Amino acid sequence: MKTKILKLLKDSSGYVSGQDICNCLGVSRTAVWKVMNQLKEEGYEIEAVPNRGYRIISSPDIVTADEIKSLLNTRRIAGDIRYYEETSSTNTVAKQLAETSDADGLLVIAEQQTAGKGRRGKGWVSPKGSGIWMSLVLKPAINPISASMLTLVAALAAARAIRQTTGLESFIKWPNDLVLNGKKICGILTEMSSEPDYINHVVIGMGINANIESFPEEIQDTATSLYLESGQKVKRSQLTAAVMSCFEEYYERFLEQQSLEPFLNEYNQWLINCGREVRIIEAGCEYTGTAEGINKEGHLVILLSDGTKKEVISGEVSVRGLYGYV
Ligand code: BTN
């Protein structure tokens, strides 16, 4: 009921009468009054005017399930949201939930992670109240070979949602990172459980450095936040809801074709590596070339100095700019 009341208040530009809320949700005046008090305790500013009703003045910067749901218009993504004030890693929780339930589209989100995971066994700095630490459980009926493309779909969704919500133009550093002014603002960690020809589940973990004010010294040169780059705090629930909507749109088109063909132009425009010299670090060998963009399988196409082309597969290599992180 709290989610529905919140949505009614947020969808209205003016006052919503207590009676209308009661009629719409089939609940008593006292029940509505109690929810209004709970919302106020959570930090929502709600004005109550006799004979006019309730009006929402401001919302706190929180990422609870109620707050995100009140902003969502998706059909299959984030229908179920599990919110934790603190957890070890949303990817770990999401994998556990994926194993025990039919959780397609389930979103796990936390205010703080105590053991946030990055790629290649690294950690992920996930302080309280300033980032978006979330994991989406998917059970797509696609070949496991195609699952790595979901990371690229998620990166596209995040880049578009950041533009929509903040006006900031980030870029994709193939395949897992989003960068802004040469520093990382978002990382994606995709984990999968599968049989040779069947996906049990895919967990897409995404960390967005939204309102972080400072980073540990070791990563200060390579990491930044939307706040540090723009001077503006972002409403994290709004950005989360936007990522979910954008993801749903791309995901449905991706499932129809099981290919990145429909997004090639768009993706390559967001791709920071495009047209740049990159160094590819593969098990046992390193080489440089010019990144030309991705192909429909999501591989990065590299033009080598002898004029031949090589397709690089994500997960098997590391891609670096010649002069630093990007
Ligand atoms: C990377 O760039 O190395 C990937 C970072 C992924 C971080 C996110 S935060 C939410 C989710 N839970 C985790 O433990 N990791 C991912």
- Is there an atom of ligand 1 within 6 Å of 207 CB? yes
Which residue's structure tokens are 């399988």? 297
Ligand 1 mean position, distance from CA 153 (Å): 16
> Of the ranges 19-33, 87-101, 180-194, which one carries the lowest mean pLDDT score?
19-33
Contact status, residue 117 vs residue 207, Cβ threshold 8 Å = no
Ligand 1 mean position, distance from CA 287 (Å): 28
**pLDDT in the model for residue 41:** 96
Ligand 1 nearest-atom number relative to CA 126? 9
Q: Which of 88, 92, 122, 133 to mutate to test the pocket of ligand 1 (most atoms within 8 A of CB)?
A: 133
User: Residue 285: pLDDT band by 50, 70, 90 thresholds?
Assistant: confident
- Is there an atom of ligand 1 within 6 Å of 222 CB? no
- Is there an atom of ligand 1 within 6 Å of 136 CB? no
**pLDDT in the model for residue 101:** 82
Kindly state the average pLDDT of the residues 3-14: 91
Ligand 1 mean position, distance from CA 165 (Å): 21
Ligand 1 mean position, distance from CA 111 (Å): 14
With a pLDDT cut of 90, the percent of the chain lying above it is 86
The neighbour count for residue 160, using CB atoms within 10 Å, is 20
Ligand 1 mean position, distance from CA 278 (Å): 24
- Is there an atom of ligand 1 within 6 Å of 187 CB? yes
Contact status, residue 65 vs residue 79, Cβ threshold 8 Å = no
- Is there an atom of ligand 1 within 6 Å of 84 CB? no
Ligand 1 mean position, distance from CA 189 (Å): 5
For atom 16 of ligand 1, the residue with the nearest CA is: 205
Mean pLDDT for the chain overall: 94
Tens of pLDDT, residues 146-178: 999 999 999 999 999 999 999 999 999 999 999
Helices 18-25 and 2-11 cross at an angle (nearest 10°) of 130
- Is there an atom of ligand 1 within 6 Å of 134 CB? yes
- Is there an atom of ligand 1 within 6 Å of 91 CB? yes
Residues 6+ apart with CB under 8 A from 56: 6, 9, 10, 44, 45, 46, 47
Kindly state the average pLDDT of the residues 263-288: 90
Tens of pLDDT, residues 245-262: 999 999 999 999 999 999
With a pLDDT cut of 70, the percent of the chain lying above it is 98
Q: Distance between CA 230 and CA 213 in Å, rounded?
A: 11
Residue 315 has pLDDT above 90, yes or no: no
For atom 7 of ligand 1, the residue with the nearest CA is: 207
Ligand 1 mean position, distance from CA 20 (Å): 43
Residue 112 has pLDDT above 70, yes or no: yes
User: Residue 317: pLDDT band by 50, 70, 90 thresholds?
Assistant: low
| H-state helical runs in 62-214 | 65-69, 90-100, 149-166
Looking at residue 128, the DSSP 8-state letter turns out to be T
- Is there an atom of ligand 1 within 6 Å of 235 CB? no
